[in-house]
Amino acid sequence: MRLALADLLCQSCGGYVHPFFDRCPGCAAPRPSRYAELLGGSDLGAATMAADPTVTQAAADSMRRAAILLALRGVMSGGQSQPAPDTHESVDAAQMIDYVGGRMSYRTCGVLEDPATPIDAVIHAADGALVLNAARGGRTLASVPATAILGAFTGTGKTRGAPPWDGTWIDGERMPTTPGAPRGDLLVIHVADRTASSFSIANPAGIFGARARIDHYEELARWIGLFAVAHAEARWQQIGVAAYAAELGLTPAAVLDVGRSRPDTTRRELAAAPSVPGTAPTAREALLQLEDLRAGGLVSEAEYDAKRREILQRI
């Protein structure tokens, strides 16, 4: 069964939730995970969702509201609002993020440059990543791969006071989380070295002329979600669903290689190891320990590959 735009969003808080999750990281509302379905070979059709008439209509609605906001800002600042993208044939989620964001600056917290200090930034999507650039000077504050985005939801209104996300996922698996997630009008949770991290954007007083309503951020969350899941689908089709989940740190590590899937390699190696007298048990144990280290994010992919080759050379 293919995804609709509504399937990407939490029915409780309206934020984007990665389709693997069985609970919204924003408000903790339960939701059906699509992970088992995908393991069975289902195609969610996320990459072609832009052709859905419902998505096209949502894009038109978003642009109409954003156009009003931009017009008000243009009158006050003497600037000009940007032309609306064409929605007659297709919708590009990256273009919608740029448009709904309006190329306006936001107060951003939790970015890589200085997690503790709010920084004025602009948000846009480029080259498969959600990018935050400094409002002045344009330097890149953060660039989050779309495939690593786990959730995007409003940090105020309906989600205020929600319990902190503890990483609960399918079958009780948990992802390590970064404590003290920043609060703001929009909170984006993403993966950084197999640990959940986050940044928030908020509206400094007067940046919109009149303070933006929360639905401005709900629209941003919607388009960030469409952008993220389309890239995520391309990734899990490239390397396999289980390998992609392991790449995020959501499940115990699968066997990965750059640009391709090797689902059976290590299992074959482990199965063959006991047949070699003398050295096999040690090699088998070493490979299992190495898998555990990678599953816990304690070794990098380069370290993992180098150590695995070293172990196998001893067999």
**DSSP result, 107-119:** EEES-SS-TTS-E
For residues 130 and 278, membership in a common domain is answered with no
Has residue 257 been placed in a domain? no
User: What tens digit of pLDDT does each residue of 151-172 get?
Assistant: 998 876 454 455 566 666 666 6
Has residue 131 been placed in a domain? yes
Specify the 3-state DSSP secondary structure of 91: coil
For residues 200 and 304, membership in a common domain is answered with no
Has residue 246 been placed in a domain? no
For residues 237 and 284, membership in a common domain is answered with no
Has residue 248 been placed in a domain? no
For residues 276 and 233, membership in a common domain is answered with no
Q: What is the mean pLDDT of residues 280-289?
A: 63
Has residue 212 been placed in a domain? yes
Distance CA 288, CA 252 (A): 12
User: What tens digit of pLDDT does each residue of 84-103 get?
Assistant: 676 666 778 998 998 888 77
* Residue 288 near residue 252, CB atoms below 8 Å: no
For residues 34 and 126, membership in a common domain is answered with yes
Q: How many domains does the chain have?
A: 2
Distance CA 229, CA 182 (A): 23
User: Domain residues for 308?
Assistant: 264-313
Has residue 12 been placed in a domain? yes
User: What tens digit of pLDDT does each residue of 170-190 get?
Assistant: 666 777 776 566 778 888 999
Distance CA 208, CA 74 (A): 10
User: What tens digit of pLDDT does each residue of 16-49 get?
Assistant: 999 999 888 878 888 888 998 898 888 888 888 8
